[in-house]
Structure 1
Amino acid sequence: MAFLLDIITFLQISFSTNIFRINYNKRPDLIIFVNGLPLVVIELKNATDENATIKSAFDQIRTYKATIPSLFRYNSICVISDGLEAKAGTISADISRFMTWKSSDGIAESSKLVPQLETLILGMLNPCILLDLIKNFIVFEKDKKQDEKGQTQVFTIKKLAAYHQYYAVNKALERTLQASRKGGDKKGGVVWHTQGSGKSLSMVFYTGKAVLALNNPTIVVITDRNDLDDQLFDTFAASKNQIYQCYQMNFWQR
C-alpha cells in the first residue's frame, strides 16, 4: 500500500499550497494531509504574547471542533504549542492527556535547550513515524461517567500512544523478531515501565504489531494478581478492534 504524505513546508509561504481554509471563515494554523485527508491539525500560539498559552491553543482546537466538525471527521492527531511547550493528543482527549514528545530519534531525550515543537516535528511528525502511529498506535475505548442528574453516559475515547510507548513497543518487536529467527536466542527481553505509564496499552500496541509481523501468533499473558487479570482483560477487550484490524490486514496481505 502506498502513502503520499503532504506536509506543510514551514519555510515556504504559499497562499496556493500552504494555506487551508474552511468556508473562508476559519483558518487552522497548520494541517497535515495524508492521501488528501486532513489527519493532523496543529494550533500554534505566539510565545511573545503572555495571553497565548498552551491552554488557549487547546481551547482553539475545541472551538474548531464545535464550529467546523467536518475538519475532524478523519482526524488522527491534534498538536498544540505556545512556542515554548508542544503537546500532542486526540480530539477526545482532555488537555491533561496531551503529551510531550521528548525524543527526535528514539535513542535519547532531546536537550531542554531544544524547543519542544522542534523535537515533536522531527520525531512524531517524521513521515514514517506519523504513519506508524496512525496505523498501529491509536485505539478507541468506551468509558462511563455520571452527569449531574446521576445518569450514566457511555462515550468513546480515542487514545494515542505516548512517545515512550511508541519507541518501547517497536524496540520490543524488533528484539522479538531477532530472537524468533532461526539461530535466535529465543529471548525477547524485558520492557521496564514505571507505574501509571501505560503498560496495558503498550501490550495492546505490541500485540497488534506482532500479529502482523509474526503471522498471527498466540500471545500468552501472565500476571501475578487477580486485579491485573481484570484490568488487562478489560483493556484488551476495549481495544479488540485494533488487534482484529491488524489480523484482517495480515490476512488480506498474504
Structure 2
Amino acid sequence: IKARGIIDVLRSGVKDLDLTVYLYFKTPASNLNTKALALYNANIFSVNRQLHYSLNNNNSLDMAILINGLPVITFELKNQWTGQTVKHAIKQYQTDRDPKEPLFQFGRCMVHFAVDADLAYMTTQLSGFNTFFLPFNKGVDHGAGNPLNPLGLKTDYLWKDILTKSSLSNIIENYAQIVEEVDEDTGKVKKKLIFPRYHQLRVVKKLLSDAKKNGVGHKYLIQHSAGSGKSNSITWLSHQLVGLHDSTNTNNVFDSVIVVTDRRVLDKQIRDNIKQFAQVKGVVEAITEGSRQLKQALEDGKKIIITTVQKFPYIIDEIGELKGKRFAIIIDEAHSSQSGETASKMNYALSQKGEQYEGEEEEEQEDSEDKINKLIEQRRM
C-alpha cells in the first residue's frame, strides 16, 4: 500500500511470484453472475469510531471507513451545537494530524473529510498547515453550501448517497486515481490523488443513467465554472460511457466515445488525463497525425478517441461511413465565448469543408454547437 497506494491495491490485489491475493472483490457487471455477486457481497465495509492511529500518542480520529479491514476514508466531525464547525475540523487536520503517520501518508487513504451539520470539505493529501480542502457540497441557488433539508441535516447526503456500499464501490472502481503531473518549468513529476467531488459524481451519474435508459440520439449541456474539475469530469464520463450497457444489460450503448477539444493545449491536457485514468492499455487513441490516423482509429474500434475542433468535420465524414456504429461525442467548451476564439475556429474548420445547408442562410449569432448539430443531423448519425 505504501508503494502503490490503497486504490491500486484494492483494484488489482497483491502479487507474489505467480500468486495474486485479492483484498477486494469488484462489483459484478450483472447479477446473473452469481459467483461474482457472492464474492462482492463478501466484502466487509465497516465504520470505526474514535480510531487510534499512532504508536507515539493517544490521538484518535472521529471516524474511519474500512474495507476488509483496510482504512480508505477518515473523518473529523464537528457539531455547531457544541460550538465547533467544519473550520475546526479542517484546522484539526492541518495542525493535529501528523502527515508522517502511516495512516496519513500520501495514498494510504483515498480521502479525508471534514464535516459538520451544514458543510462538508475534503482533501486527498495532508501537508500540515498547507493542507488544501475542497468543498464537497451540493450547492444552493447557484452558489456554495447546501440547501435546507426538511428531513434532517444538510450534510446527510454524505452517508445516504455517497458512502453507501454501492456508491463507494463505484468510486473505488471508476473514479479515485493517483495521477502524475509534470511541472513544465522544472520538469519534475509530482503524484496527485484524485477523488471526485459531489457535483462531478452527480453529473456523470445523471448522464450515464439517461443514456442507459434512452440510448443514443440525445443532446446534453453541462454548465461548469472555473476550477470545477471539468477535465476530470470529461475523463470519468468518457471511460464509463465506453462500458455502459443498455437497460437489458446485454448490449453496449456506444461503440466509441469521441472527445473534441477547442484548443490544442487543452487537447494535450485532456489526452494525458484520460490516458492516466485508463485501467486497460490500448483503449485511448489521441489523433495527432491527421485524418488518416483518425480513420484508422475509427475502423479499429478504438474506444476513446481524442481530437481537436479543427478535425471535427473529418470525424463527421468518417463516422458517417461506418454504418451501424454508435458514437458518443463529448465537446469541450461548446459554448465558450472568449473573444469569439472557439466560434471562429469552428467556423473556419467548417468552412474549410465547404459545408452548405440548403434553403437557409447562416445566421451570425449561430454558435459552434449549432453548427455541430447541423452537421450531425445532416449526416443522419
- What TM-score do you get using the length of structure 2 for normalisation? 0.50
Task: Say whether residues 1:189 and 2:227 are aligned partners.
Answer: no
C-alpha separation between the residues in 1 aligned to 2:59 and 2:241? Answer: 42
Shift of 1:244: 3.0
Kindly indicate whether the alpha-carbon contact (under 8 Å) linking 2:122 and 2:133 is maintained by their aligned counterparts in 1.
no
Select which of 255, 259, 266 maps to 1:221: 259
2:236 to 192, 196, 205: 205
Which residue type is aligned with residue 171 of structure 2? L
Conservation of the 8 A alpha-carbon contact between 1:101 and 1:163: yes
For the pair 1:95 / 2:129, whether they are aligned, the reply is no
1:125 aligned residue (141, 163, 171): 163
Count of aligned residue pairs for this structure pair? 223
Match status 1:28 vs 2:90 = no
Matched-pair contact (CA < 8 Å) for 1:79–1:87: yes
CA distance in 2 between partners of 1:247 and 1:61 (Å): 40
Q: Structure 2: give runs of 5+ residues left out of the alignment.
A: 1-24, 26-39, 141-145, 246-251, 284-381
| Equivalent in the alignment of 2:209 | 174
Confirm whether residue 7 of structure 1 aligns to residue 46 of structure 2.
yes
Describe the superposition over 1:72-107 as per-residue Cα deviations: whole angstroms up to 9, x where unpaired.
Answer: 55311211024442223322695342322469xxxx
- Over 3 Å counting, the alpha-carbon distance change for 1:145 and 1:169 in structure 2 is same
Question: What SS is found at the alignment partner of 1:244?
Answer: coil
What is the alpha-carbon distance in structure 1 between the residues aligned to residue 205 and residue 260 of structure 2?
A: 21
Match of 1:163 in 2: 198
Q: CA RMSD in A?
A: 3.4
- Residue 79 of structure 1 is aligned with which of 113, 135, 145? 113
- Shift in Å, 1:48: 3.9
Larger relative contact order (Cα-Cα within 8 Å, sequence gap ≥ 6): 1
Q: Secondary structure at the match of 2:178?
A: strand
- Name the CA distance, whole Å, in 1 between partners of 2:187 and 2:85: 34
Q: Which whole-Å CA distance do the structure 2 matches of 1:170 and 1:143 have between them? A: 27
**TM-score normalised to the size of structure 1?**
0.70
User: Would the aligned equivalents of 1:145 and 1:154 in 2 still touch at CA under 8 Å?
Assistant: yes
Gaps of 5+ in 1: 9-16, 104-108, 181-185, 249-254
Given that 2:103 and 2:109 are in contact with CA atoms closer than 8 Å, whether structure 1 keeps it comes out as no
Seen in structure 2, the aligned counterparts of structure 1 residues 188 and 89 have a Cα distance that, compared at 3 Å, is: farther
What is the alpha-carbon distance in structure 2 between the residues aligned to residue 206 and residue 84 of structure 1? 29
Contact 2:111 2:122 in 1 (8 A): yes
Letter in 1 for 2:134: R
Distance apart, 1:46 and its partner CA: 3.8
What is aligned with 2:361?
none
1:5 deviation in Å?
4.1
Identity %: 18
**Larger Rg belongs to:** 2
CA distance in 1, matches of 2:91, 2:255: 43
Shift of 1:141: 3.8
Q: How many angstroms does 1:179 deviate by?
A: 4.6
For residues 147-162 of structure 1, the aligned pairs below 5 Å read: 154-162=189-197
- CA distance in 1 between partners of 2:279 and 2:174 (Å): 12
The letter of the residue matching 1:187 is: G
| Residues 102, 108 of structure 2: 8 Å contact kept | no
Is the CA contact (8 Å cut-off) linking 2:72 and 2:109 kept in structure 1? yes
Letter in 2 for 1:29: D
The SS at the match of 1:88 is strand
Query: Matched residue of 1:30: which SS?
Result: strand
Q: Tell me which of 66, 72, 81 is aligned to 1:39.
A: 72
Deviates more, 1:62-71 or 1:158-167: 62-71
The C-alpha deviation readout for 1:118-142, integer Å capped at 9, x for no partner, is: 2222122122112212221223344
**Counterpart contact for 1:172–1:189, Cα < 8 Å:** no
Q: What's the offset of the Cα at 1:201?
A: 1.6
What is the deviation of 1:205? 0.4
Residues 163-206 of structure 1, C-alpha deviations (whole Å, 9 max, x = no match): 222122122123333454xxxxx314314213323332211001
1-side partners of 2:137 and 2:62: how far apart? 19
Aligned residue for 1:61, secondary structure, equals helix
Change (3 A) 1:191 1:81: same
